[in-house]
Amino acid sequence: MSLAGGCRSMTHASKSAARAAMPRPPSPWLAAAELPRAVSEFGLLAASIPGLLRSAARGDGHPVLVLPGLLAGDRSTAALRAILDRLGFDARAWGLGRNRGPRAVGSRGELLQARVEALAGETGRKVSLVGWSLGGLYARLLARRLPGHVRQLITLGSPFMDKGKATHAGKIFEMVSGTARDDRANRALLAELAAPCPIPSSALYSRSDGVCAWQVCRETTGAQRENIEVFGSHCGLGVNPSVIFAVADRLAQAEGCWTPFAPRGLSSWAFPTQGHA
C-alpha cells in the first residue's frame, strides 16, 4: 500500500471512529413517551407546590429571565416563573413570542441581548438566566457575551455541547428558524457555546431525555461549573418539581458566593449525580 493510500485509510478510519463516538439521539421509545411523561410531571407539580414552597430556597428579589424551548413561548414557563416569584425571586418572561431561533432573538441574538440589558438597567442588578432546551443555548450565549450583566446561568436539557446530530429537534429547528444546522453561522454559534462559560453555571439534564442526548447537555469540569442529573422527560423539565427545587437552590446563592449543589436529607434521592460529574 502506498503512503498516500495508507494516510487516506487512516484518515477515513479516524473520521469513522469520531462519528461512532458522537452521542446519538435518544431512542424512538423515549421520544414517543415524552408527552405522557411531561403530563405526569405537570400533575406531580400541582401536588408538590405546597411542599416546594415550604422547602425550596428563598430568593433575594434579583431578576431572573426565563427562556422557553423550541417553538414554545412564555406560557410554557408560566408555572416555573410563578413558583419562583412566590419564593422571592423577580422572575420575568422573555417576551419574544415563540422561540423560533434567529427569527425570535435576531440573527445575532441582538433582540434577546437588548432584553437582558434593559432588565439589568431597569432593576439595577445583574440578571440570572434560566434557559430550557433551545432557550438554554441562547442563555449560554448571552452569559458569554454579557458577563457584566449576567449573574448566573442555569440550563435545562440544553444541548450546548452538540457537534453532530444528537437531538431529534434538528429538522424542526431548521424549518422554523429558516437556517441550516450546518451553515457557517450555526457552526460558529455551536463552537462559541461549547467554550467554558465565564460565570457560575449549572447544567440540569436527564439520562431519560427523549429529545436530546443527555451527554451533550452537560458542562465540562471546572470552577463554578456543575452538572445536576434529575429524573424526568425533556418536555417536562420546566414543570418537574425536583428541577424547580434545584433551580431555586442555585438562584438563592448570594452573588459572588457560588458553591456546588449539595442536596441533603430526603431531597437527595431526586438527584442521582451532581457537582462536577
Q: Please name the residue that has the C-alpha cell 440540569.
A: 204
Q: Assign 274 a pLDDT band (cuts: 50, 70, 90).
A: low
pLDDT score, position 40: 96
For residues 72 and 180, the model is more confident at 72
Average pLDDT, integer, range 131-158: 96
pLDDT at residue number 21: 67
What three-state secondary structure class fits 44? helix
> Is pLDDT above 90 for 248?
yes
Better-predicted residue by pLDDT, 9 or 151: 151
Spatial CB neighbours of 35, under 8 Å, sequence gap ≥ 6: 235
Average pLDDT value for residue range 228-245? 97
pLDDT in tens, 82-117: 999 999 999 999 999 999 999 999 988 999 999 999
Give the span between the Cα atoms of 181 and 105, in whole angstroms. Answer: 16
Nine-digit cell at 10? 487512516
| Range 219-233 average pLDDT | 92
CATH number of 33-270: 3.40.50.1820
* pLDDT score, position 7: 45
Q: In 3D, which of 158, 151, 155 has the Cα closest to residue 64?
A: 151
Quick: pLDDT tens for 167-195.
Answer: 999 999 999 999 888 888 888 888 888 88
What are the backbone dihedrals phi and psi of residue 59, each rounded to the nearest 5 degrees, phi first? -90, 170
Apex CA 140: angle with CA 134 and CA 146, to 5°? Answer: 135
In whole angstroms, what is the distance from residue 18 CA to residue 169 CA?
22
Average pLDDT of the segment spanning 110-135: 97
Q: Using CA atoms, how far apart are residues 61 and 125, in angstroms rounded to an integer? A: 10
Mean pLDDT over 65-84 rounds to 98
Kindly state the average pLDDT of the residues 21-41. 93
Helix (H, G, I), strand (E, B) or coil at 159: coil
Residue 120: pLDDT above 80?
A: yes
Question: Does the pLDDT of residue 2 top 80, yes or no?
Answer: no
Amino acid in the structure at residue 181: R
Q: Which pTM value belongs to this model?
A: 0.90
Q: Which residue has the higher pLDDT, 2 or 121?
A: 121
Predicted pLDDT at 191: 87
Instruction: Give the pLDDT band of residue 16 (cuts 50, 70, 90).
Output: very low
- Asked if residues 238 and 76 have their Cβ atoms less than 8 Å apart, the reply is yes
Q: What is the pLDDT of residue 8?
A: 52
Judge whether residue 271 has pLDDT over 50.
yes
